[in-house]
């Protein structure tokens, strides 16, 4: 029943030279970039001096070459174990499991969490062909048996996929006897009830706490 409102995409573009068209196509494959933005980027690069393109190409290639998974937290890094894993932290015994490196950055920016991280690189979604084996779950379990964590925070998104991943991990981790928690979901800080969407408001009522 939910439908999106908005403009239909205009797919009729006049012919470009082959090289330019290839560049546009390559940009358009990137997330968040539509045909229009791709065309704008391609024309911009073609008009700039060659160094600009060279720098961009080098940056992309070297990032691809040098970035790898940290052997401990599985976050992206240049040297494994990563800088974050090599430094001592205040709460060595708490581990926060997140879906993506971006989520890790978001949680770190709160400065409320002082433990260790683990990045899964996705959430379980059989529909998109993502099974538990495609995520860094095996690495997580190995890490849990080696280290002495006393609490695991499951910080997956409150989506169907995130909840399924959290439930799946719960089944795996529970037998180890480690305290498990799930991040709360509900109203954002400073929010006004009347503007909250129904799903969030409903959830915050279901997950209410006693004072």
Partner 1 sequence: MFIETLEIEHFRNLSSVHLEFSKGFNVLYGANAQGKSNLLEAIYTLSFLKGFRADRLSDLIEFEGERARLSAVVCTGSSHTRLGVELEAKCRHAYVDGVPCARARDYLGLLRSILFVPMDVGFLQAAPASRRTMLDRMVFTLKPSYLIDLEQYQKVCKQKSAVLRAENPDESLLDVYDAQLLQLGTRLLEARYEYMVLLSPHVARVFKAIFDSSCHCVPVYKSSSLFDPVVFDSDSGMIGLDVLIKSYRDALEKGRSREIARQQIVLGPHRDDWSLSLDGRQAKFFASQGQQRAMSLAMKIAEIECLRVEADIEPVFLLDDVSSELDPVRHKRLFEYLNALTAQTFLTTTSKEHVHLESIGRIFRVENGSIVHEQQ
Residues lying near partner 1 in the complex (CB under 8 A): 1-8, 124-127, 131-132, 160-161, 163-164, 167-168, 171, 198-199, 202
Q: Which is nearer to partner 1, 35 or 84 (CB)?
A: 35
**Closest distance of CB 164 from partner 1, Å:** 5
Which residues are within 8 A (CB) of 209 and not within 5 positions of it... i.e. 6 or more apart? none
Q: In terms of Cα–Cα distance, which of 177, 183, 182, 186 is closest to 205?
A: 186
Which residues are within 8 A (CB) of 178 and not within 5 positions of it... i.e. 6 or more apart? 144, 149, 150, 151, 152
**Closest distance of CB 167 from partner 1, Å:** 4
**Closest distance of CB 127 from partner 1, Å:** 5
Half-sphere exposure of 40 (CA within 13 A, CB side): 5
Q: Which is nearer to partner 1, 82 or 162 (CB)?
A: 162
**Closest distance of CB 192 from partner 1, Å:** 15
Q: Which is nearer to partner 1, 81 or 126 (CB)?
A: 126
Q: Which two tokens stand for residue 208?
A: 């209410």
CB 93 within 8 A of CB 115: yes
Q: Which is nearer to partner 1, 11 or 148 (CB)?
A: 11
């Amino acid at each position: 029943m939910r439908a999106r409102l908005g403009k239909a995409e205009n797919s009729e573009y006049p012919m470009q030279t082959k090289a330019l068209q290839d560049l546009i196509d390559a940009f358009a494959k990137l997330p968040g970039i539509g045909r229009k933005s791709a065309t704008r980027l391609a024309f911009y690069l073609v008009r700039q001096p060659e160094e600009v393109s060279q720098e961009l190409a080098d940056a992309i290639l070297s990032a691809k070459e040098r970035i790898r998974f940290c052997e401990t937290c599985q976050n992206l890094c240049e040297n494994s174990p990563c800088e974050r894993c090599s430094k001592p932290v205040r709460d060595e015994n708490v581990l926060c499991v997140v879906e993506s490196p971006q989520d890790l950055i978001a949680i770190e920016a709160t400065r409320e969490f002082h433990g260790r991280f683990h990045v899964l690189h996705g959430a379980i979604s059989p529909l998109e062909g993502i099974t538990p084996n495609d995520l860094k779950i095996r690495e997580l379990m190995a890490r849990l048996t080696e280290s002495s964590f006393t609490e695991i925070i499951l910080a997956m998104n409150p989506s169907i996929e995130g909840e399924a991943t959290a439930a799946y991990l719960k089944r795996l981790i529970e037998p180890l006897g480690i305290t498990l928690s799930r991040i709360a979901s509900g109203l954002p800080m400073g929010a006004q009830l009347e503007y909250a969407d129904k799903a969030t408001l409903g959830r915050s009522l279901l997950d209410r706490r006693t004072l």
